[in-house]
Amino acid sequence: MSDRKVRVESLIRELAASFIMGEANTSPMITVTHVDASPDYSNATIYVTTMPDGKEADALIFLKRNGRALRQLIKKKTSLKVIPNIDFAIDYGERHRQSIDELANNMKGEKLD
């Protein structure tokens, strides 16, 4: 992966996180986990998780409704030549990792006979 791609994805992730923090209410809490930009930077998918579990649909509705405003913020705050079309997705990989961590912590607390 090129340094430029890493920088662009990181910039979009930071702007998306601050936008969500400022615009979303606290239920559900939405966390940006990572961004995946297309090779030509014309599209970017922002991956998120929610807390509590089960609020993914509410989060996606909010995000898709406000995607245009986020794109305008990216346009305003950056000097990118191509402003990507933004899409959102739930980061199920992160959700599974959290579940595995929780199971492992529960198993540590159990006494083995």
What is the pTM (predicted TM-score) of this model? Answer: 0.81
Higher pLDDT, 44 or 96: 44
Query: What span, in angstroms and rounded, lies between the C-alpha atoms of 51 and 89?
Result: 15
> Is 80 exceeded by the pLDDT of residue 94?
no
- Count of structural domains, the chain: 1
Query: What span, in angstroms and rounded, lies between the C-alpha atoms of 67 and 72?
Result: 9
What is the domain-level CATH number for residue 103? 3.30.300.20
> Is 90 exceeded by the pLDDT of residue 37?
yes
Which candidate, 81, 94, 99, places its Cα nearest to that of 46? 94
- Residues of the chain with pLDDT > 90, as a percent, come to 66
User: Token match 């809490």: residue?
Assistant: 29
Domain that holds residue 74: 3-109
